């Protein structure tokens, strides 16, 4: 029985491989028919070569390491975007707002993430402009070295994070790092500043979320009390309170107030 099952698995795999191969041949043949007989005669299949060759000098190894480092940074780009910009606060506040309204998955996660992402681009635009003028353009024009460009690029981002970071959170991370007491903000390493900034952003987002919850919680309590006094205990209060919460949110122009307040909190922070 085991041998029969193994043979069936092998046959199914072979059939799948043959089907894939047939589809590939069919696609190539269709392409050749589309480009015409004259072009088909000159058509050459590409050859892909992947390998490791001996480097001729230290410069080849240096370029290879830079490429690996660049790919690593690109893979960590989403985390860098969330942890060093305003994205964290925006995404958490919008998630709290959705739960406070009780609309389940409306707006969807994609809409919340997209709105937070574009607002992040808008809020961080002055910082990106400083990075472009102080670091990127001089480096592209070969006016400064790569090390100087990196230092000039990180300075505007550090200034942004310092404005939004609480001294209490920063002192906690500096103490946990175990280094010398910094005399000025320039002595604080970026590896200490980033987690302090994230903690401060989460605390601020939770405070804003609590404030957003209060008016909608009052509506839920009033509706639940009215239904209980009327003896309608089997009717879910969310069915009655949801329209009132949506009406309140629309009447006060909630998105305008929340987005405007969030952007102003970063601009004036």
pLDDT at site 267:
77
| Residue 201 is assigned to a structural domain of this protein | yes
| Residue 21 is assigned to a structural domain of this protein | no
Residues 138-160 pLDDT 10s: 877 878 787 788 888 888 888 88
| Residue 223 is assigned to a structural domain of this protein | no
- Distances in Å between the Cα of 147 and the Cα atoms of 66, 70, 193, 238 are 13, 15, 20, 57
When divided into structural domains, the chain yields a total of 1
- DSSP letter at 232? -
Look up the domain containing 128 and give its range: 79-212+254-267
| Residue 239 is assigned to a structural domain of this protein | no
| Residue 249 is assigned to a structural domain of this protein | no
Residue 94 contacts residue 115 (beta carbons within 8 Å) = yes
| Residue 147 is assigned to a structural domain of this protein | yes
Residue 66 contacts residue 179 (beta carbons within 8 Å) = no
| Residue 1 is assigned to a structural domain of this protein | no
Residues 60-119 pLDDT 10s: 556 666 677 767 767 777 777 778 888 889 999 998 888 888 887 788 888 888 888 889
**Residues comprising the chain, all counted:** 269
Return the structure tokens found at 90. Answer: 């925006």
Helices (H), the chain: 2-35, 37-42, 58-75, 77-84, 87-101, 109-123, 125-131, 137-140, 146-164, 167-177, 190-229, 237-251, 254-267
Cis peptide before 13 (omega within 30 of 0): no
pLDDT band of residue 244 (cuts 50, 70, 90) is: confident
- How far apart are alpha carbons 27 and 13 in whole angstroms? 21
| Residue 127 is assigned to a structural domain of this protein | yes
């Amino acid at each position: 029985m085991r041998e029969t099952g193994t043979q069936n698995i092998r046959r199914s795999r072979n059939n799948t491989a043959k089907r894939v191969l047939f589809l590939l041949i069919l696609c190539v043949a269709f392409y050749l028919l589309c480009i015409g007989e004259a072009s088909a005669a000159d058509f050459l299949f590409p050859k892909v070569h992947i390998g490791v060759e001996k480097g001729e000098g230290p410069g080849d190894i240096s370029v290879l390491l830079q490429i690996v480092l660049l790919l690593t940074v690109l893979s960590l780009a989403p985390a860098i975007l969330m942890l060093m910009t305003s994205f964290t606060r925006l995404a958490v506040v919008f998630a709290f707002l959705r739960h406070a309204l009780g609309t389940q998955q409306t707006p969807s996660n994609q809409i919340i993430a997209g709105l937070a992402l574009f607002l992040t681009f808008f809020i961080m635009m002055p910082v990106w402009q400083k990075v472009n003028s102080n670091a990127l353009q001089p480096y592209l024009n070969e006016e400064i070295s790569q090390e100087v460009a990196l230092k000039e690029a990180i300075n505007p981002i550090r200034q942004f994070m310092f404005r939004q970071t609480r001294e209490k959170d920063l002192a906690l991370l500096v103490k946990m790092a175990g280094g010398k007491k910094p005399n000025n903000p320039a002595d604080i390493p970026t590896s200490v500043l980033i987690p302090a900034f994230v903690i401060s952003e989460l605390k601020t987002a939770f405070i804003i979320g609590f404030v957003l919850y209060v008016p909608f919680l009052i509506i839920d309590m009033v509706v639940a009390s009215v239904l209980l006094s009327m003896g309608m205990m089997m009717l879910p209060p969310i069915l009655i309170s949801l329209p009132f919460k949506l009406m309140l949110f629309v009447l006060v122009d909630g998105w305008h107030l929340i987005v405007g307040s969030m952007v102003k909190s970063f601009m004036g922070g």
